[in-house]
Amino acid sequence: MERLKRRQDFVAAARAQYAAMPGMVVQMRARADDGPARVGFTATKKIGNAVVRNRTKRRLRELARLKLAAVARPGHDYVLIGRAPTASRPFPDLDTDLTSALKRLHRTAHLPADKGTS
């Protein structure tokens, strides 16, 4: 899977659909191309110091490597946002959170994401 690195890609994903779970928030944006799926990771300073943020992102990267690569749709961007419990939540629970979020997002992918930014 390719990685999201540019800020404008993260901002575009923030305006798209999302699913908030106890261990993370997953944002999904459908691009206008058929390229490979891309994934980005973020953790804000709100969840802790650099050690906690890095641990959170490492766990999210591993989860995406194991789970997201198999079910990601081509032409879509995914952003996994760490929350405070992500660093200490059991890995099977994070896996369940990601699976549930992806099911919800893929089920509602045909609906427009209107967050009042018209």
Nearby residues of 85 by Cβ (< 8 Å), 6 or more positions away: 22, 23
Record the pTM.
0.88
User: Which runs of consecutive H residues, i.e. helices, occur in 1-90?
Assistant: 7-14, 50-63, 69-71
pLDDT (tens digit per residue) in 4-54:
999 999 999 999 999 999 999 999 999 988 899 999 999 999 999 999 999
**Domain covering 2-106 in this structure, CATH number:** 3.30.230.10
pLDDT (tens digit per residue) in 51-89:
999 999 999 999 999 999 899 999 999 999 999 999 999
Phi-psi region of 116 (alpha: psi -120 to 50; beta: other; left: phi over 0): left
Domain ranges of the chain: 2-106
